[in-house]
A and B are shown apart, each in its own frame.
Chain A
């Protein structure tokens, strides 16, 4: 764990071996939660662990031996995170009130006729200004 790529590469350390699945997940939950509680924002886990006094062995003590007696609390917090997770897209799609924000007009189902596409290499792309103007002129002359 706590390896890092990029400008300051660092090999991961072996944290524990021969774990059954339940214990493995328990350790991962504890480590992630402990990291969230103690790391700086956006801090790499490698830097985080290097800055911990005692480094890897301290972390092993906290996670495996529960030396701070916070293991159950960390697991409970992870449970809360998992339990309260929601996909915001799905939530929005199920909420008619929220869906209203995605209509262009409050009083019409029409779309914005200024949004135009042209085909570039068999894919749609936003129309360039001249193509757009031409398309709008066609519409206006039809409706005139």
Chain B
């Protein structure tokens, strides 16, 4: 679709694991942003589920890298 807003090479991400930061750097029920292969990835940590979710940090409507800020 849009080349600018979906720059994460999804295949590469699906295939590779990346060490990003210690778990202590995660902020419960909030987001952080990681730089992975020059792509910005928003990472959300939910302590209740003990789960971590990730998505592109880019907001295509606001055209800014802000999604990790919630």
Which of B21, B38, B63, B64 lies in contact with A107, CB distance below 8 A?
B21
Q: Are A105 and B34 in contact (CB under 8 A)?
A: yes
CB neighbours (8 Å) of A129 from chain B are 63
Q: Are B38 and A143 in contact (CB under 8 A)?
A: yes
Residues of B that sit less than 8 Å from A by CB: 20-21, 25, 27, 32-35, 38, 40, 43, 58, 63-65
| Minimal Cβ-Cβ distance residue in B for A133 | B4
- With A112-B65, A114-B64, A114-B65 as contacts: A106 and B34 at CB distance below 8 Å: yes
Residues of A that sit less than 8 Å from B by CB: 100-101, 104-108, 110, 112, 114, 129, 143
- With A112-B65, A129-B63 as contacts: A107 and B40 at CB distance below 8 Å: no
Q: Are B38 and A106 in contact (CB under 8 A)?
A: no
Q: Could you tell me the distance between the alpha carbons of A112 and B57 in the complex, rounded to whole angstroms?
A: 11
Q: Are B65 and A106 in contact (CB under 8 A)?
A: no
Which of B20, B32, B40 lies in contact with A112, CB distance below 8 A?
B40
CB neighbours (8 Å) of B25 from chain A are 100, 106
CB neighbours (8 Å) of B33 from chain A are 104-106
Which of B35, B58, B63, B64 lies in contact with A105, CB distance below 8 A?
B35
List the 6 shortest-distance A-B pairs measured between CB atoms, nearest first: A108-B35, A106-B32, A105-B35, A106-B21, A107-B20, A112-B65
A–B complex contacts, Cβ < 8 Å, 25 sampled: A100-B25, A101-B27, A104-B33, A104-B65, A105-B33, A105-B34, A105-B35, A105-B40, A106-B20, A106-B25, A106-B33, A106-B34, A106-B43, A107-B20, A107-B21, A107-B34, A107-B35, A108-B34, A108-B35, A112-B40, A114-B58, A114-B63, A114-B64, A114-B65, A143-B38
